Structure 1
Amino acid sequence: MTFNWAAFSAAEPELARTVEDRFGQFTHHILATLRKDGAPRTTGLEVRFLNGELWLGMMPSSLKALDLRRDPRFALQANPGPGMEMAGGDVRIAGRAVEVRDAETIALYTDEVKPPDPETFHLFRTELTEVVRTYIEEEKYLAVQLWKPGQPVRTTRRA
């Protein structure tokens, strides 16, 4: 069973809105991919929530794009903000990136986003395997919301 952003939003609308709002606070976020030797690579990235998908767009032949072509697993963390404030909590998404090469789908994206060179960039849609939000609740608990496909959100709290 694959879950794109629309499927996740339908299953867990409140958490989906919180995650989108958190990513919407800043333009650049942190993407983790896997290098050829299996070591992690972290890089900056802009993300877009459009047409029911979470999109990852990348410059031509960027290392992160080449990483995802070889191994589609990724983790994406919302920018924590100045001074690591993390207003709205720490938000992370994990999944698999699927490169889109269909001209019609790419055109829908480029009409909305306007990348610098719409002819040569890499575009990936995402299939989600996990969404996590960590935040302070009632100024006394560390709360962690965890969602996985086919399961409801589970919240744990620590004092």
Structure 2
Amino acid sequence: MDGLRCAFDPADGSLTPVVIDVEASNGLAFFPDEGVLYVSDSSLSPAEADPPAGRPRGHSIHAYDVIAGRHAKNGRELVEVSPGLPDGFRADAEGNLWSSSLSGIQVFTPSGEKLGENPVPEKVANCAFGGADGTTLYICASTCIYRIHTRARDAVADRLAGSSGRP
């Protein structure tokens, strides 16, 4: 399976499989407290198809409880992204997920409810929060990079504020 996600241990250089049940894992993000890992499945299988037993559908974002800071357990499909595929996505400080899709950026609550959509006139591949305060959403599309100002704040902005890194 090409969707395997692993954890790297810098102490001994080992890789430990963490997510093994996603066909084509792509983007990933953490809930702000890092207690939940989100992984997008960008497989091309139709979202309506019935997958083999124990396998999630494509076109979706999955949630995993993070145990002891290194194990992903209790995997579940959180949202189905349509139209298109959830390629890149980000979490904001409230835990909402901002996902790429064929129609633009779709926004979901931590429980999977769709809050809304920011239309973009071309296919979206990825997005990232940035700017001085972490409230600007940069959207990477087919031919352009778009920038929108939001009321949301990047999930890692507070952790990075005191470091030399920027959100």
Q: Normalising by the residue count of structure 1, what TM-score does the alignment of the two structures yield?
A: 0.24
Taking CA–CA contacts closer than 8 Å with sequence separation of 6 or more, which of the two structures ends up with the larger relative contact order?
A: 1
Q: How high is the TM-score relative to the length of structure 2?
A: 0.23
